[in-house]
Every structure is written in C-alpha cells, then in structure tokens.
Chains A and B, each alone.
Chain A
C-alpha cells in the first residue's frame, strides 16, 4: 500500500511570492531530491528527512495554489508548489508517514516495552486510523511526539483519553444494518417506450433478494434451473414474461403459454412451497386467536379473505389450475418477509447465485430451529389465557426515598481538611495577594494598551497556549489515574509528576525571554497554570503521605 518513492512535478520556491522554478521532486524514505528542468539556472535541492521538523500545506477549497512547506531544524523552509491538489495530498501523506516513522524509531525500544505491558492488540485498521489522525492534526502530532517520544506516556495511555476521536470514525462507518423496505420492490413493473413493442424490466440484487424471499417457488426454480438448464438471463426473461402475463389478468392467455412452456408454467402456477410453509406457521399461532378470517391466506383456499360468500357464484373449474394471486396475498406475504428481518446482506453478494445460496442457507438454519413446536404452544396458551384488560396495572415497585446520614460525609471531610488546612492557609495569603496584584497589573496593562496600542499580545498568548496544551494533557492523565490501584499506575503517576516538575523552569524561561511589557500579560496567564500544577503535585504528596502512614513498613507505597 505504501510506496517507497514518490515522484511529482513541482515548482520549487524560496518564499511564497517567488514564482518558482519548475522541476521534478523525488522523495524516498531517507531524503528528498529536487531537480530543476533547466539544469543551468535552477538549484538542485537535496534534503534529508532527518532535518525536516514539520510540514504545512494549503487546504483544498481555498483559493490558494497547492503548496507544501517543509520546515527544517535550523528554521529555514522549503516550499514546493504542485500542479493539483491530488499531487499535494500524495506528497503530504508520504511526508507525514516518513516523519512519523522517523519519530517512532527514536522511541520504539521503550515504546515496545510499554506496549507489551499494556497488552494491547492493535488491528491494522486502528493503526491506520491513528496515523491518519496524527497527520491531520499537527498539534496532536506534536503532543504525541512530546509525550510518547519523550517516554512520559505510553501509546496506549495517550490514546485512552482520545477514545472519542477513535470512536467517531467507527460510528461513522455505521455497523447498523438496514431492514427490508416497506415499499414492495418485488412487484416489478416494466418501462415501455411508446415507439416499439418492447418492455424493459430492470432488476437489482436487492429486488432479486426480495423476489427470492417472497416467492420460494421461484427461488427453488432458480437453484434448479440455473446454470444447468438455462442461463441467468433466460431465467429472468421467463420470469418477467410470467409477471407480465399475470398482470394482464387474461386467464386463457396464461393457460395457453403455460401449456407450451414447462418452465414458464413453474412461475404461473401455485406456490407449493409457500403453501406448506404457511400451514406450518398456522400451527404456531396463538391457539386463542380466531383464524377463520385469514383462511384465504394459506394459499390453498379460494382467495376470499373473510368476505361472506353466499355460494351463488361458482368459480370456473378450469381457472383453478392457474392460480391468480390477489393484491392482498402479495401484501401480506411482503409484510411477513419484512417482519422476519434481513438475513442476507446484498452489498456483499452482488452475484445472484451467491444471493440465492445465501438465502437457502439461512432458511435451512431457521427450519432447524423450529423443532419444539408443541412445547411453545403450551407456553403460549398459558400466557394468552388471562384477559389483558382485567389484569392489575403492571407497575414496577418504586424505590422509597432514603436520605443518608449527613455525618458520614462530614466525618470523611474532616480528615482531609486537617491535613490540607496548614498548607492551604499558607497558600491562601499568597493567593489573595496574587489577585490584587493581578488586578493592578491588569489595569496597568489596559492603560498601557490605550496609550501604545496593541503590540503583539497574540504572539505571547500563543506561546502560553502551547504550553497550556502540554500542561493540560499532563494534568488530564494525572487526574485520571487517581485513585491508584496498581503498581503500573503508580509508576505512571511518578513519571507524570516528574514531567510536571520539569515544566516550572520552562515557564520561568518563557517569562524571562519576553520584554517587560509583555511579561505582565504572560505572567498573568502563567500563574493559573502554575497553580494547577501546584494543586496536582500537592495532591500527589498528600496521597503519598497517606499511603506511607497506612502501609507503615513499606516505604514505596505499594498496596
């Protein structure tokens, strides 16, 4: 599936405004090579993928030309313009894959150990999904590289919090099956063009499936005749001819045609298989139900469906040979099929043969399950005999309100409160100072902005936001692993705590790297981050204390 080399025609540009020199770009797993058309004027570009840090590309649908921008470690960038978005996508996917692979190889050793620890079985589909998600979202990719590459989190843990992203894709694929439609598509009607005498019937696999399901005689005929006696095309031609004759309601024409053609006669006479099935089904109906009105449905009586016959009109004997289906019988049969549910999926079986055989298999399965009819009958009698309207109301017992003693809650809280009160009191003072300071500095900042105008605050908050996403990710994993139950989680928490402690100097660095006027704003943003980290680390320490108190001799905190 993946190609080891990609070659495309592109134009190499040093900046976006540069018209670019046309040439060919060739990429393989180690490096990319650009050779300009005009050997003399253009520059040949050879870049190792190791030095490529990231890639950006223009989105399809915007009015910009398809560009890809590869940035290298030193800060320079290579811009290539493609002829079409399709080319761009191919190259982009290739670049992402290679970059991802290079990052993974740096951390595979530790990763492998962690993966076996978590004992995860990833299917290739899942792997592909993860790679796709990483390619599409560069922020996610950066986080992934930072944590999984930096040995702070394992692959499994990283994706555990992102279950939603992984799941939505599977939901989109929708494992739901669709039942048969209410509409009777098996009742095929031809198209006629007024000029010639031809009529055209169109059959899709879905229609064929319904025909086989509703008319077991046709299904049996198909299995018998095709491909031994006739081809599929001939079979369906005969069938459509039979349908056409039936619709004309001309009994004598039907008789004449049936006498000539044996196979056609199969389609025109009574459906024996159906009659047998229905007789079996009638035995399974509720014994208390009055079935007299449905007698016309068992395909052995005259189609009357409950209409009172006074015997004055006698049907012609000869007509009984060729059986005329009524609309009601067709509708009832279709409804029965819809209610039975779908057993064969047409998308998988495009071939009529396969459909026929699959249907035959499923029918066999259903017949075998019909074994113990009599026992079911007895059960049903006992269930149906009491009259529904006279039964008492069927309400399930309701749960009485029981309000727990509030002292339980307060007792547990007191223990916590005593421990944290000392720390908290110290913190409280500093916090109140902070809010005052924050307010004062905010006012200063506002007055400054009024004088000087906004000067790139976006840049500083962007940087802070980048740090914040990292911190957020760490904290999320940290809090989700409490309460600690296994040694694995314990090591994970320790890892996270170390990573968090390492962030403090990073934040300090950030603050110092900026000029004094921006430093206010950034320090305001940074302060709550530090508070969040402090809270997490404090919780960790408190928990450690509790454990060491509980376990006594075991200093490691293993339970």
Chain B
C-alpha cells in the first residue's frame, strides 16, 4: 500500500491501477496486510512464552479524545439545553436487505444485538425518558412496543420477532411514528432513530411532504445506515436537525448507535422550558400490604406509594396509573443532571514538559494511584485544567464517561462551586 501511494503522486490514474495490480499480483486488502505490513511482527511474547496482548490503548485513547474534541467544539463554551425527557422511537428495518450477511451473522442479528445494548445504555443515561420500537416489513410499518420505561419489555419484544421480508417504506414508518408522537406532552423531546439496511424505499405517496410534517411536529430524526449513503435519509436528517451516519462494520455500528445515548443538544425553536410536576414517592413500609395498580394483585412490602393519590406502584420511574403523576426518585434526577454540566476535557501533557523539575514529582495518577511512568520513561497522561491534577489515560476515560466528576476538583473544599447564572 505504501508503494502504491508513492506512485499515485507521480503517475496518472490509469497507469496507477495497472501498476497496483501488477505489484500486488491481484491480492486483496487483507492479504496485502500480511504480505506488506508483516502484521505478525507486532506480536510479542512475555517470559513464559504466552502472547502478550497487543497494546491498543494508545489507539483507543486517541480515538476517544478525537470524539471528545468534536463534541466539545460543537457545544462551544456556553452551556446549552439538552433534552432530558426524551421520547425516542427506534425504527428497525426488517426488509429483504436485512438478511444480508455482510455484517456477521446477518444485518438483522447485529442490529438486534446492538439495539439491546443501546436500550440498556439509554435508560442508564436517561432515566426519565421512554423508548418505543417499530419495524418496517413488506412496505408497512408495525408498532412493536409502545412508549415505555422498562428495558426488559422492549428487548423481549424485539428478540421474539426477528424475521425479514419485503420492501421497506420510509414514509409509512414516519407517518406512523408521527401519529404516535403527537400524543406526548409538549415538554418532552421527540426523537426518531432509524436503523436502515436497505438501499431504496417504496412509498405510497410523496415522502417530501411527510418530511415537512415531521419538521413541523418538531421531531428530530436520525438515521444510521448499514449499506450506503442515501440522499433521502440525508435530506430527512438535515431538515429535522438529526444526524446521519453509515456504519462500516459491526464495531463502528456499535459506536454510532451508542452515540445517540447521551441527550442531544436542544434546538432553540423546538425547546419549551417550563416547570413539570413530579412526585417523589416514599418506599412502602416493610410489612404493609396493598394491591398494586400495575399487576392487580396484593403485594407485601415492596413498592412505592404515590404522594398524591396514595396508590401503590411497583417500580420507578413510572407514571402513576391513577392520577397520572410522573414518579421518579432522586438518583434518577442526579443521573440526568450531569448532562447539563459536562466536565471539561482534560489537557494532554506533552512528553517534553514532563522533564521539568516540579512536574516530575507527580509520578502517580491522582485517580487510581498507579504510576504514570511507563518502563522508566514518562508515559501519556492528562491534566485537569481546573485542579491541575494528573490522571492516567484509563482514569481519563472513566471520569469522562462514567463518573462525570473530577476527583481532584471535588477534593478541594475551597474551589468555587458551579453557579447557575454563568454561561
């Protein structure tokens, strides 16, 4: 591959093709990676003769930082609203094209597995939100599950119905979803995520009108394609303010779909800010019994009591069946809160500056107390811009993705707390 790159600078396109073929003797790309790059030389053995795992962490970290930087650039320095109470419909394309085996074992299976992971991650990061599932099959869209907050019911419904046939119809799916999303209250953010495997859409009418209606209904549509980029999907996403991406392979697809888990920034004209009434139910006392309203049977001990109408519910977060009050617990709100105040990305420490005297004393990572030196020489590390503590790469990823709080900043008592008015 390196040879052919050199030639491309000199020769014409036609000659280049012929040359490549000659040199490589008609080898495929994977064959070339053995012949030219000698990928076996990257393997190393340790003392006992076992293979050491290839050190991908630097690559992984570089990817991660690129992602962070892209996100922080788009966010700019001021704080923006995010849609915390999201009503998301996932539309899965189960047309003929979903049976293709370019994603192993089949596109449909890969999509189902990743949707399961996505649903769990989604409810982890957005406990106040709800998901619904739809499928497209034989030119018609079917509602698989209604909007609900329990991941198990969605996953069970999806895994039970994995057959594909017929042509997909984007317009029917959008129409059906629009009808379903029109019923939700105005403070909720309406979103659609389409996982599209096919290269065409067979619609009964003019899809441009449907797209305009979606735009008017303030629905944010995003598409993840599995085969190639399509104009109509691009147009849909551009009009409604969503994102369009096409997956290259299974791991890329997983990355793309998990990018939709954290709440997206709220678009100014769609967002309506108002006060929403929520209830914080108390846990029912140990020995008390009552009939719960979701299962219609007597339950002992477990459950929560709605503060307004005193009805019993089994799990949170949910909507009280009797009085319609949103019932949540404080950890749910806490988990949503950190999306609004994201932690600033840490700065990378250039290796040259680590030779300075006063920095050399920082030999251990503040988060995990492991040494920052790699085989005697200073390894890659990052520093928090506020508290100036040093962290290793793994702690950096952990802090930004799971913890959402810098341990260094939190351990300072006299650092100014985040005020609401700024930004």
Give CA–CA (A490, B141) in the complex, Å: 42
Range class of the B interface residue count: 35 or more
* A151 on interface, CB distance cutoff 8 Å: no
* A182 on interface, CB distance cutoff 8 Å: yes
* A439 on interface, CB distance cutoff 8 Å: yes
* A186 on interface, CB distance cutoff 8 Å: no
Q: Give the A-B contact count at a CB cut-off of 8 A.
A: 161
User: A398-B80, A468-B291 are contacts. A176–B202 as well, Cβ < 8 Å?
Assistant: no
Interface contact A535-B81, CB-CB below 8 Å = no
CB distance from A191 to the nearest CB of B (A): 24
Interface contact B423-A525, CB-CB below 8 Å = no
Interface contact A396-B267, CB-CB below 8 Å = yes
Interface contact A475-B287, CB-CB below 8 Å = no
User: A179-B203, A398-B268 are contacts. A479–B308 as well, Cβ < 8 Å?
Assistant: yes
Give CA–CA (A400, B203) in the complex, Å: 38
Interface contact B80-A400, CB-CB below 8 Å = yes
* B176 on interface, CB distance cutoff 8 Å: yes
Give CA–CA (A409, B277) in the complex, Å: 10
| Nearest-neighbor residue (CB-CB) of B308 within chain A | A535
Give CA–CA (A532, B308) in the complex, Å: 9
Give CA–CA (A395, B141) in the complex, Å: 30
User: A400-B81, A403-B420 are contacts. A464–B309 as well, Cβ < 8 Å?
Assistant: no
* A507 on interface, CB distance cutoff 8 Å: no
CB distance from A480 to the nearest CB of B (A): 7
CB distance from B210 to the nearest CB of A (A): 11
Segment of B119-127, B318-326, B372-380 engaged in the interface with chain A: B318-326
CB distance from A379 to the nearest CB of B (A): 15
User: A442-B289, A476-B322 are contacts. A399–B308 as well, Cβ < 8 Å?
Assistant: no
Segment of B11-19, B167-175, B358-366 engaged in the interface with chain A: B167-175
Instruction: Pick the residue among A396, A401, A465, A532 that contacts B309 (CB under 8 A).
Output: A532
* A178 on interface, CB distance cutoff 8 Å: yes
Instruction: Pick the residue among B78, B273, B285, B340 that contacts A438 (CB under 8 A).
Output: B285
* A162 on interface, CB distance cutoff 8 Å: no
Which residues on B sit within 8 Å (CB–CB) of A400? 78-81, 423
Interface contact A341-B291, CB-CB below 8 Å = no
Which residues on B sit within 8 Å (CB–CB) of A468? 291, 296
Give CA–CA (A533, B317) in the complex, Å: 24
State how many residues of chain A have any CB contact under 8 Å with chain B: 52
Give CA–CA (A472, B141) in the complex, Å: 35
Instruction: Pick the residue among B74, B238, B289 that contacts A524 (CB under 8 A).
Output: B289
User: A399-B267, A439-B285, A461-B298 are contacts. A181–B202 as well, Cβ < 8 Å?
Assistant: yes
Query: Contact mask A396-420 → B, CB, 8 Å, 1/0?
Result: 1111111110001100000000000
Instruction: Pick the residue among B140, B141, B238, B290 that contacts A525 (CB under 8 A).
Output: B290
* B106 on interface, CB distance cutoff 8 Å: no
Which residues on B sit within 8 Å (CB–CB) of A528? 288-291, 305, 310, 312
CB distance from A161 to the nearest CB of B (A): 10
Interface contact B169-A409, CB-CB below 8 Å = no
User: A399-B81, A439-B285, A439-B286 are contacts. A178–B200 as well, Cβ < 8 Å?
Assistant: no
A499-557 CB contacts (< 8 Å) to partner B:
521, 524-525, 527-529, 531-532, 534-536, 539
Interface contact A401-B288, CB-CB below 8 Å = no
Which residues on A sit within 8 Å (CB–CB) of B323? 475-476, 479-480
* B249 on interface, CB distance cutoff 8 Å: no
| Nearest-neighbor residue (CB-CB) of B170 within chain A | A179
| Nearest-neighbor residue (CB-CB) of A339 within chain B | B203
Interface contact B172-A176, CB-CB below 8 Å = yes
B288-315 CB contacts (< 8 Å) to partner A:
288-291, 293, 296-298, 300, 305, 308-312
CB distance from B86 to the nearest CB of A (A): 15
CB distance from B374 to the nearest CB of A (A): 39
| Nearest-neighbor residue (CB-CB) of B420 within chain A | A403
Which residues on B sit within 8 Å (CB–CB) of A404? 273, 275
Which residues on A sit within 8 Å (CB–CB) of B300? 442
Interface contact B289-A525, CB-CB below 8 Å = yes
Which residues on A sit within 8 Å (CB–CB) of B287? 435, 438-439, 442-443
Interface contact B322-A472, CB-CB below 8 Å = yes
* A174 on interface, CB distance cutoff 8 Å: yes
Which residues on B sit within 8 Å (CB–CB) of A179? 139, 167, 169, 171, 201-205
Interface contact B324-A480, CB-CB below 8 Å = yes
CB distance from A353 to the nearest CB of B (A): 23
Which residues on A sit within 8 Å (CB–CB) of B305? 528
* A228 on interface, CB distance cutoff 8 Å: no
* A454 on interface, CB distance cutoff 8 Å: no
Give CA–CA (A341, B293) in the complex, Å: 47
User: A178-B138, A475-B323 are contacts. A438–B289 as well, Cβ < 8 Å?
Assistant: yes
Which residues on B sit within 8 Å (CB–CB) of A182? 167, 200, 202
CB distance from A500 to the nearest CB of B (A): 12
List 15 additional contacts besides A176-B176, A179-B202, A401-B423; criterion CB under 8 Å.
Answer: A397-B267, A401-B78, A401-B81, A435-B285, A442-B287, A465-B291, A468-B291, A468-B296, A475-B309, A476-B323, A480-B323, A525-B290, A528-B290, A528-B291, A529-B291
9 pairs of A and B residues whose beta carbons are closest in the complex: A479-B323, A439-B287, A528-B290, A177-B204, A178-B139, A179-B202, A401-B79, A399-B81, A442-B287
Residue pairs across A and B with Cβ atoms less than 8 A apart, 14 shown, are: A179-B205, A341-B204, A396-B241, A397-B269, A399-B266, A399-B267, A401-B340, A438-B289, A439-B288, A442-B289, A479-B322, A525-B298, A532-B311, A535-B309
Residues on B lying within 8 angstroms of A by beta carbon are: 74, 78-81, 138-141, 143, 166-167, 169, 171-172, 175-176, 200-206, 238, 241, 265-271, 273, 275, 285-291, 293, 296-298, 300, 305, 308-312, 321-324, 340, 420-421, 423
